Amino acid sequence: MSSQPPIRAAGALLWRQPLPDQEPEFAVIRRARYDDWTLPKGKLERHEHVLDAAVREVHEETGHRVVLGRPLGTQRYRVAGADKVVRYWSAEASTLTGSFEHVPNDEISELCWLSADQARARLSYAHDAKVLADFSAGPLRTVPLVVLRHAKAVKRAVWKGADDDRPLDRRGQAEAKRLVSLLSAFGVDEAVSSPARRCLDTVGPFARASALSVGVERLFSETDHAASPDKCRRRSAELLYEAASLVVCSHRPVLPDLVGALLGGGQPLPRQLRPGGFLVLHRDLTHRRAAIVAVERHRP
């Protein structure tokens, strides 16, 4: 086993559907330096979040600015004596043509759009074929629902005002700014929050950057949840059927009921989120009953 830290990388399986009744096509790229065919991916830059890296690498290597879909697993393999860990997501191309000819990365010499069978035959590595297989095993499209714990707030013990007015501290403000690109990576286009200032200030930078208004839901506040947890759970369950890509910001005491209602009784609750942490629940809304097909967690 190598004593070196693993090389961390991120990428996506970029796909498109030329017509609604056609099978999807997948972007496979040729790297001239290695004379291979692979998927868009690359190393994380210093202090870069894995979500930002996935979006950036796809753009640099294909010319497409993408929104991430459901996760497609983590591939681990050896490269030049070091362990490499690559996380992948699905990413639908926003246009059929893209702008590959303008890609500012001379490492990539060719991009081909291929059917699943053609891509599987063209790919040089088994771990890339596994990503394609994971995509094919799930729904074509999913809709994210992000459950966000508010960022770090001023401590209750030192705050003299009403608890709902308690603001974020300096670290929390930095976390809220960091969330702008992370929520954008999933194409979030609607925001709901507890009325508490610390929750509104957590989603505020993202909402302003995206020109979104924030819907206030009192049932996701600590006070209203404590008074009527059943109402909170019922409201939470309704979110499953929202067609929008949604972020919901609430409090640590509320999250077990909120997430539990979304996941249903048959699934274990994820471990507790830290301040600023969030879950992404990827929903398949193509059937009459909404289904969660993948769950991932992140910190800013």
Structural domain range at position 164? 143-298
Does residue 96 sit within a domain?
A: yes
- Same-domain check for residues 148 and 288: yes
Lowest-pLDDT range of 78-87, 138-147, 207-216: 78-87
Pair (239, 269) in one structural domain: yes
Containing 171, the helix (H) or strand (E) segment is helix 170-185
156 and 290 share one domain: yes
Q: State whether 151 and 283 are in the same domain.
A: yes
More confident residue, 14 or 101: 14
Domain boundary among 136, 168, 186: 136
Picking from 99, 115, 136, the residue at the C-terminal end of a domain is 136
In the predicted structure, residue 24 carries a pLDDT above the cut 80: yes
Assess whether 237 and 284 both reside in one domain. Answer: yes
> Does any domain span residue 2?
no
List helix spans (H) across 147-277.
170-185, 197-209, 222-227, 229-238, 255-263
Q: Domain for residue 289, yes or no?
A: yes
Residue 71 has pLDDT above 50, yes or no: yes
Last residue of a domain, one of 108, 136, 164: 136
Confidence band for 4, pLDDT divided at 50, 70 and 90? confident
For residue 104, pLDDT over 50 is answered with no
Residue 221 and residue 122 share a domain: no
- Taking CA atoms, 93 is separated from 41, 62, 87, 97, 154, in Å, by 15, 10, 19, 9, 42
Same domain for 185 and 281, yes or no, is: yes
CATH number at residue 38: 3.90.79.10
> Do 117 and 160 have their domain in common?
no
Is residue 154, in this structure, part of any structural domain at all? Answer: yes
Please check whether residues 121 and 156 belong to one and the same domain: no
Strands (E), 67-132: 68-79, 82-92, 108-114
What CATH number does residue 261 fall under?
3.40.50.1240
Cβ neighbors of 136 (< 8 A, separation 6 or more) are 116
Instruction: Please give the pLDDT value at position 94.
Output: 81
Based on the domain organization, do 150 and 284 belong to the same domain? Answer: yes
Please check whether residue 116 lies inside any domain of the structure: yes
Q: How many domains does the chain have?
A: 2
Question: Do 114 and 18 belong to one domain?
Answer: yes
Domain-located, residue 124: yes
More confident residue, 232 or 79: 232
Q: Looking at the domain assignment, is residue 1 inside a domain?
A: no
What is the pTM assigned to this prediction?
0.94
pLDDT > 90 fraction of the chain, expressed in percent and rounded: 84
Q: Does residue 75 lie in a domain region?
A: yes
pLDDT reported for residue 215: 98
The pLDDT of residue 50 is above 80: yes
Question: Are 118 and 30 found together in one domain?
Answer: yes
